[in-house]
């Protein structure tokens, strides 16, 4: 695998070597190419400079901010020149923790423009998470807002600047005079017109990355503990994400994308930035999720597609049911991942919005591994998490790596051109993640249905072993989502001396479900035909479920909180 800019640098640490025969096959099949997302964007900026690229809606701002492809290109070059001025180039990591707006794409593309590697960080993260990520990535530059949603990023960032050895530069967007001049993003990146330097273009072209160079360093969702730094090349990201979603949703340049998920997470970074801008689309951002405003944008901006977590779709359905408004929706596709999809949501999206809810499954390391296609029958959409992507291989095996029969739950593994390049700086984790013959173990459990589709059964820790019997947490959750008083639910295990583990349902009740009881839940599951061993032995009502920025429930947090409750009860 070509590493013209990374060979011998610290960023190469942890990267796996692709088999030359595999690489040749990937290219021959058109799954790897000789272009990058950056090349695509620059071409669109040249051919359609007056077309809107980014439209940003910010909470508290009356009107949206629109930036055209030509304007965004100018900012990219200006920011790239600023990065070169501070010595940022190949082999360096630029960590970007900004709210959704044009600045994020401009800075990420500028980082690629100088051959450096962008590291998106979710805007909701605070010092504990940010410190871990900056240290783990060895970031040279960190950019954040001065304030956002009441949090003082400047105070945190200045402290991290002093304490993290690799961190050479820290800048704050929308900074006021309380921030020292050398930390003002605008004074270093926006005000100087360095993009007018006639020699800049040649310099940037000499640094332009190739398709096999690193495109991003992204941290995994952290559903089971500390996030790991996953590396994607332009080619693995293109094959695993961009090519999949374009084919499944039949996306074109005149489509209009929407993204409210943070650009600091892979979901937003790929599908809210790289995909639409590489296709020449207009993309509409919200810096904070506002379902009522989003429903208005269906008409005012003409949104045609989005990819986000299940919770966003649930909010849309709930808002329109309780606060009906006239709709002229053109939203033909809502690709849905990050968490299991409750039964009936696909039907609601179709009936209320004329929108096809397109389930998918994948992870940061594999890209999209299975997905449905636009226009699939509702019963098909409700029954599974999509069909395996044709150019990637998917298998279901037992703990000894032997294939299991169709319909049997096992460990899901993926191999192919969209699988990531490794965990940065952790060759041990990279080696452990792959089998000897190159399959990546996703940590997810699932089964192959009779029609060849994949049905996810949860993470490996989502199997509860009660009295020697394996119980799928996802199956119980799917059943409880049909309960009229259940808004959200997560099922986790808790220890039992006699049975090994028992079942606990953590439920966010609907307003009408404040009196929900364990007995009520048992009667409901009994009437639904679920066997008694699957019924929860404990019910905990909560205000909300802890989630990652991509919408996945952090069950390790729930297990920890439940363990604290049990200790208090035993004290």
Q: What is the model's pLDDT at position 556?
A: 80
pLDDT tens-digit series, residues 439-486: 999 988 899 999 999 998 777 666 787 765 667 787 788 889 889 899
Tally DSSP H helices, then E strands, for the chain: 20, 27
CATH code: domain 462-570 is 3.30.300.30
Is residue 260's pLDDT more than 90?
yes
Q: What is the model's pLDDT at position 104?
A: 97
Residue in this structure with the two tokens 């599951």, named with its chain if needed: 525
pLDDT tens-digit series, residues 79-125: 999 999 999 999 999 999 999 999 999 999 999 999 999 999 999 88
Q: What is the model's pLDDT at position 177?
A: 85
Q: Give the integer Cα–Cα distance in Å for 201 and 507.
A: 56
Q: What is the model's pLDDT at position 460?
A: 64
Secondary structure (3-state) at 487 = strand
Is residue 223's pLDDT more than 60?
no
Are the C-beta atoms of 144 and 97 separated by less than 8 Å? yes
Secondary structure (3-state) at 76 = helix
Secondary structure (3-state) at 25 = helix
Give, in degrees to the nearest 5, the angle at Cα 205 between 245 and 4.
75
**Lowest mean pLDDT, pick from 189-198, 260-269, 393-402, 454-463:** 454-463
pTM: 0.83
Tell me the sheet residues that pair with 492: 504
Burial 412-441 (b: 16+ CB within 10 A, else e): bbbbbbbbbbbbbbbeeebeebbeeeebbb
Encoding tokens for residue 279? 């296709």
pLDDT tens-digit series, residues 416-446: 999 999 999 888 889 989 998 899 999 888 9
Secondary structure letter of residue 287 according to DSSP: S
Are the C-beta atoms of 569 and 500 separated by less than 8 Å? no
Return mean pLDDT, the chain: 89
Return the domain boundaries, the chain: 10-26+36-448, 462-570
Q: What is the model's pLDDT at position 7?
A: 46
Where are the strands (E) in 400-518, listed by range? 410-415, 422-423, 440-448, 454-459, 463-466, 469-472, 486-496, 500-509
Q: What is the model's pLDDT at position 498?
A: 66
CATH superfamily of 10-26+36-448: ANL, N-terminal domain (3.40.50.12780)
- At residue 26 the predicted structure's pLDDT band, cuts being 50, 70 and 90, is very high
Tell me the sheet residues that pair with 118: 94
DSSP secondary structure string, 484-526?
A: TTEEEEEEEEEEETTTEEEEEEEEEE-GGGTT--HHHHHHHHH
Q: Give the integer Cα–Cα distance in Å for 171 and 185.
A: 5
Between 106 and 179, residue with greater pLDDT:
106
Residue in this structure with the two tokens 């070597």, named with its chain if needed: 17
pLDDT tens-digit series, residues 334-352: 998 766 677 788 899 999 9
Q: What is the mean pLDDT of residues 142-164?
A: 95
């Amino acid at each position: 695998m070509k590493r013209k800019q990374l060979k011998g640098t610290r960023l190469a640490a942890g990267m796996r070597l692709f088999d030359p025969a595999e690489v040749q096959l990937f290219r021959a099949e058109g799954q790897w190419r000789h272009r990058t997302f950056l090349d695509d964007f620059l071409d669109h900026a040249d051919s359609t400079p007056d077309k809107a690229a980014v439209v940003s809606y910010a909470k508290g701002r009356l009107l949206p901010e629109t930036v055209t492809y030509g304007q965004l290109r100018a900012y990219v070059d200006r920011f790239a020149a600023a990065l070169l001025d501070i010595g940022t180039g190949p082999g360096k990591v630029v960590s970007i923790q900004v709210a959704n707006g044009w600045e994020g794409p401009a800075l990420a593309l500028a980082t690629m423009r100088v051959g450096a590697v962008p590291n998106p960080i979710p805007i909701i993260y605070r010092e504990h998470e940010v410190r871990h990520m900056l240290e783990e990535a060895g970031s040279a530059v960190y950019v954040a807002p001065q304030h956002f949603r009441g949090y003082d990023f400047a105070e945190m960032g200045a402290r991290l600047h002093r304490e993290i050895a690799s961190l050479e530069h820290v800048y704050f967007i929308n900074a006021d005079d309380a921030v020292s001049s050398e930390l003002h993003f605008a004074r270093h990146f926006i005000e100087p017109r360095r993009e007018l330097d006639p020699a800049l273009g040649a310099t940037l072209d000499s640094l332009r990355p190739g398709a096999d160079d690193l495109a991003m360093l992204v941290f995994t969702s952290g559903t089971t503990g500390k996030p790991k730094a996953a590396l994607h090349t332009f080619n693995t990201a293109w094959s695993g994400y961009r090519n999949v979603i374009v084919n499944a949703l039949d996306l074109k340049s005149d489509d209009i994308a929407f993204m409210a998920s943070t650009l600091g997470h892979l979901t937003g970074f790929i599908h809210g930035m790289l995909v639409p801008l590489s296709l020449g689309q207009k993309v509409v951002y919200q810096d904070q999720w506002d379902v009522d405003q989003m429903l208005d944008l269906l008409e005012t901006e003409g949104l045609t597609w989005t990819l986000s977590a299940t919770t966003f779709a649930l909010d849309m359905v709930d808002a329109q049911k309780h606060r009906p408004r006239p709709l002229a929706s053109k939203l033909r596709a809502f690709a849905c991942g990050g968490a299991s999809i409750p039964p009936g949501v696909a039907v609601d999206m179709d009936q209320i919005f004329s929108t096809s809810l397109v389930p998918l499954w994948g992870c940061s390391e594999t890209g999209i591994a299975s997905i449905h296609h636009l226009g699939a029958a509702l019963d098909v959409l409700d029954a599974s998490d999509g069909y395996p992507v044709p150019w990637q291989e998917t298998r279901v095996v037992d703990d000894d790596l032997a294939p299991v029969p169709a319909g049997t739950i096992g460990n899901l593994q993926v191999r192919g051109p969209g699988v990531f390049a490794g965990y940065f700086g952790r060759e041990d984790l990279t080696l452990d993640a792959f089998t000897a013959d190159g399959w990546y173990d996703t940590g997810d459990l699932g089964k192959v249905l009779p029609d060849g589709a994949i049905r996810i059964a949860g993470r490996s820790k989502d199997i509860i072993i009660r009295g020697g019997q394996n119980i799928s947490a996802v199956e119980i959750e799917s059943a409880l989502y049909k309960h009229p008083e259940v808004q959200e639910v997560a099922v986790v295990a808790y220890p039992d001396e006699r049975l090994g583990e028992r079942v606990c349902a953590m439920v966010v009740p609907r307003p009408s479900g404040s009196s929900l009881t364990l007995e009520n839940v048992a009667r409901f599951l009994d009437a639904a035909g679920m066997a008694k061993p699957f019924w929860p032995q404990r019910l905990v009502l909560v205000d909300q479920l802890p989630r990652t920025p991509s919408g996945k429930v952090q069950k390790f947090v729930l297990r920890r909180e439940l363990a604290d409750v049990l200790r208090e009860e035993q004290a």
